[in-house]
Amino acid sequence: MIPFAPLRRWPALATPGAHALRMILLAIPTLAVPTLAVPTLATTTLAGCTSEPDLSTTGTLSTADAALLQTRAMISSPGPVDGASNIVQSRRTLEPSPAPRTASSSPVYGVADLHNHQFAEYAYQGAWFHGTTLGPEGGDETWAGLSACDGNTPDGPQDHAMSYLNVLCGVAGWVTDDMCRHEDRTFGYAGGEQADLSYSGWPHATSWAHQQTWWGHLKAAHEDGLALTVVHAVNFETLCDIMEPSNYQYFYDCKDMGVVDLQLEAAKAFAAIHHDWVEIAYTPQDARRIHSEGKLVMVLAIEITDLFPTGEMDYAPMVYDAQGNLLDRGGVLTQLNYYYDQGVRSIQLAHELDSRFAGVALYSPVFKLVEAILKIQEQHPGELADVKIPGDGAPDLGMNLTPLGYNRKGLTDEGRILLQEMMRLGMLVDIAHLSHNSVEDVYAVAQENAYYPLFHSHAKLAEIMVLPGEQPLEKYTPDWVVEEVNATGGMIALRTFGAKVNSYAGSGVENNCDGSSRSFAQAVAYGDQALGAHLTLGVDFNGFADQTGPRFGEKSCAKAESESAQLEQQAQQDDAGTGTHFDRQGLGHMGLVGRGLLQDLRNVGLDTGNLEQSAEHVIQMWERSIDPNRTGPVGTPPTLHRRNTARR
């Protein structure tokens, strides 16, 4: 018998997110797999899902249902001892990655998205996002994917996007249209007599705190040509720590690795529920087969700051107690292989801050957040005492920065070992968020491994983003990085931004609506024509960032430098648009990727052929990563050199 932890208290159904988690974990279909002598789940059908299980019956339980019990125990338990990440689970023999199956040799047509946080509603203790990825579009307030919120009014529940002591909006100055109090952004989907208000508030291009990847919208994107999506499990412990405690929904703590486990389970459950049109791919052969069956290809990835914080760089085994509770995660290479066995095929070496493996490109909002926390601690002794402070409050968060704000830290010795193991496993290596020094070091390792393919999952091209007179920030991707990625046979996924940018003459698109598809078109054309990169999208939904804005309506061309310039630009948008919510709301949700963004790019005159072939290019990159006869460089070797930075 495979050991599993006893079920414990389940979170109260105070919000749609808690109800969604209950439903997603109860809706895994029974699979034809060996059974275990543990209690069976007796359930009743309810709106396509299942009700609370009846654990009073006995019998046999399928491996999938045993895994379901494990997941429920995992999120309901106080967790292991001795500081290990807060997770309870079995030895993971319940759900191994499927063996590769015979694949279709047909090319994959369609667009790929390499960066989405579909299940981020389970991050940050479930206290940040309103709305869920499951459920009907609207209806029952406790079980609707996109039901209206109350805008966190004083007399309402104030159940999302609220930080303790108003750290974010009040002290740090993190304010967007749908954070903290936002009465004018309450409507998601509204039916019946309020149908005219549907999506009048969110999802919107400026949504930071409302779910942007509801299942129906993802399916619509697939029907419009989205062939492959990479789903990143995400968390940031410091941000989680400052959420309003009364909004905490789950019994795990804020440690990054435990939250990753929950989101991976949620992704698998989602794929099981919607198995008729989406499936997780574990190999490139799998991806081709899934596409040939008319389904959306889903790939699992991890993007966190505190990656593998415990363990030596070895294969020391995980340690469990007699009940199967995890006591020690073991060596780092053991942990990496464990997540590979769980289906993860891409991991970023660092995210918001330096990790033990690599340095990151500076992200200034994190500094504002930490400064706000320190200010609260000073003004209110004893408050926020348990919040994790990066760098223990040291200047620059413990980062070693050049006078220009570039990170001197590159790939560490431990990072090289981890990267080599990722390459041995044939994983997809994502250089997003890495410092320039880290990128150079990763590229050197790729060269040593026959130009192992690299990719950037949500890049912003420096030549397009950095306006005249501005300091080029390290978070932007310079041309030399794109050349190195090209040399490995990799890809650049363009972050679907909303910003004022430089024009690229070769685009053929007039850059006369700042922050809209016309702005994004400049980046696509530059990456395609000037840099010769294989391009795709990195939408970064639920990722705390503005999306590509609208071209029509009072909020269009919103990144213009002045109100008069905005009005002038608005007057120049004289075509019919797409006929979707994209025209006036911008890229607010996943369902607007094809019929909204891509269609509008075509409307303004951009050649989108590179993007429309991107799913095939992603799978070719994946195939190259496991090709024993791989050679390089691919195409013309890099000729550009770094500038405006100091190596060490």
Strands 49-50 and 45-46: antiparallel
Higher pLDDT, 25 or 620: 620
Please give the pLDDT value at position 138: 77
Average pLDDT over residues 463-491: 96
Average pLDDT over residues 399-412: 93
91 Cβ contact partners less than 8 Å away, ≥ 6 residues apart = 2, 3, 318, 320, 324
What digits encode the pLDDT tens for the residues 282-309?
A: 999 999 999 999 999 999 999 999 999 9
Q: How far apart are CA 83 and CA 401, in angstroms?
A: 31
User: What is the DSSP code string of 527-565?
Assistant: IIIIT---EEEE--BTSSS-----SSSTTTTTT-SSHHH
Please give the pLDDT value at position 70: 41
Higher pLDDT, 100 or 488: 488
Does 88 have pLDDT greater than 70?
A: no
Q: How far apart are CA 432 and CA 454, in angstroms?
A: 10
Percentage of residues in the chain having pLDDT higher than 70: 82
What confidence category does residue 192 fall into, taking pLDDT thresholds of 50, 70 and 90?
Answer: confident
What confidence category does residue 58 fall into, taking pLDDT thresholds of 50, 70 and 90?
Answer: very low
Whether 239 and 164 have beta carbons less than 8 Å apart is answered as: no
Mean pLDDT value across the chain? 83
Average pLDDT over residues 452-472: 97
Does 63 have pLDDT greater than 90?
A: no
What digits encode the pLDDT tens for the residues 103-162?
A: 457 889 999 999 999 999 999 999 999 999 988 887 655 557 888 888 999 888 899 999
Does 533 have pLDDT greater than 80?
A: yes
485 Cβ contact partners less than 8 Å away, ≥ 6 residues apart = 431, 454, 455, 456, 491, 492, 533
Query: Which secondary-structure segment (H or E) carries 266?
Result: helix 256-273
Does 1 have pLDDT greater than 50?
A: no
298 Cβ contact partners less than 8 Å away, ≥ 6 residues apart = 228, 229, 230, 231, 267, 271, 278, 279, 280, 281
What is the pTM for the complete model shown? 0.86
Q: How far apart are CA 171 and CA 214, in angstroms?
A: 32
